Structure 1
Amino acid sequence: MPTAPTDPAPTDPIRVPDLSDRPHRLSVERAMMTDTHTVYVAWTEQFDRWFAAPGSVAMTAEVNAPFFFETESAQEPGTPPTRHPHYGRFLRLEPSRLVELTWVTGRGGTEGAETVVTLQIAPHKIGMHLRLTHAGFYDEATRDRHESAWHQILAHLDEVLTGSA
């Protein structure tokens, strides 16, 4: 005898990483000449437009949804670029206001640690203000390397979104 369909199981709670043994964090701020919606979409739907290697992104902008993408760095002429995989999942999404996600990379990146990137987006005068916090590094050297990189990455994002890249 067939049974009646049942309601789907309740959604599992979001498991936020425990960063207590990885206390190092950074914060980078940038004013941009674009709107908050454009930045939100760049981080949730268009990673391959400005950061990830084209064709490498598997991402759905939903809380608790995992994502994957690769970045590539040039090596010597005539050699293939080095691929750098990035993994994570979305923790919080507030359209045009907030993106929070876990961020895991390997050697030279987060060293395998599941870190947390929080992007706060707010309108500001003739554009918007972005504050990126990246928490959960094992040591200061890794944090400092990421802080330097985030300044460059956000400058590149700004150039791409304003058409000056």
Structure 2
Amino acid sequence: MSNDPIRTPDLTDRPYRLTAERAMEASPETLYRAWTDRLDTWFAAPGSVLMPAVEVNTPFFFETEYRFQSEEPARRHPHYGRFLRLKRPELVELTWVTGAGGTEGAETVVTVELAPHAGGTHLHLTHAGFPHDKARDRTADAWPMVLEQLDRQTAA
């Protein structure tokens, strides 16, 4: 693990944030692994994850693919980031950078808190540092669908 200081993004001029919560069927440990070393099983396009290690200060890259219309080719959306805090199996915090239609190049921060609840997990996600309310609102609409997909994939 790197001994370099962790440089968290300065979100002072980007106060737009959102939260999403969901009761998940899987355990906190399973969800922690999904967010760290198993992104390609539920979110990232298979074969696109570049993550040399799951450690604080470690950068990563992956792509998602989404088809807006069934007859269209899938569009690729690159995601870049680095881990800021990791506390197994309770917390994953990472930076999140995407392009148009996402963070618009702003380095945002995603914090995923995992707590045991009713035989599964209560997942609380905060996504902070959007450049404006429109970027936040687009992403706020997407996170519930992403968490539903995560729940389906990890419950199996």
Q: Is the pair's TM-score, using the shorter chain for normalization, greater than 0.5?
A: yes
10-19 or 46-55, larger mean C-alpha shift: 10-19
1:7 is matched with none
Alignment equivalent of 1:112, drawn from 88, 105, 127? 105
Q: Which amino acid aligns with 1:83?
A: R
| Counterparts of residues 88-99 of structure 1 (less than 5 Å) | 88-99=81-92
- Structure 1: segments with no counterpart, 5+ residues: 1-9
1:38 is matched with 30
62-71 or 76-85, larger mean C-alpha shift: 76-85
Q: Does 1:26 align with 2:18?
A: yes
Question: How far is 1:33 from its partner?
Answer: 1.2
- Number of residue pairs the alignment of both structures matches: 154
Q: Report the CA distance shift for 1:132/1:75 in structure 2 as closer, same or farther (over 3 A).
A: closer
1:5 is matched with none
Q: Which amino acid aligns with 2:98?
A: T
Task: List 4+ stretches of structure 1 deviating above 2 A.
Answer: 75-80
Question: How far is 1:158 from its partner?
Answer: 0.3
The Cα offsets for residues 24-74 of structure 1, whole Å up to 9 and x where unpaired, read as 000111111110000000000110000000000012210000000000112
Question: How far is 1:126 from its partner?
Answer: 1.6
Question: How far is 1:82 from its partner?
Answer: 1.2
Q: Report the CA distance shift for 1:13/1:54 in structure 2 as closer, same or farther (over 3 A).
A: same
Q: Does 1:142 align with 2:124?
A: no
| Counterparts of residues 3-152 of structure 1 (less than 5 Å) | 11-59=3-51, 60-74=53-67, 80-152=73-145
Q: Report the CA distance shift for 1:45/1:111 in structure 2 as closer, same or farther (over 3 A).
A: same
- Structure 2: segments with no counterpart, 5+ residues: none
In structure 2, C-alpha distance between the alignment counterparts of 1:86 and 1:111, rounded to whole Å? 11
TM-score with structure 1 setting the length: 0.89
- Give me the CA root mean square deviation: 1.3
Q: Which amino acid aligns with 2:142?
A: A
Q: Report the CA distance shift for 1:122/1:23 in structure 2 as closer, same or farther (over 3 A).
A: same
Q: Report the CA distance shift for 1:76/1:35 in structure 2 as closer, same or farther (over 3 A).
A: closer
Q: Report the CA distance shift for 1:23/1:41 in structure 2 as closer, same or farther (over 3 A).
A: same
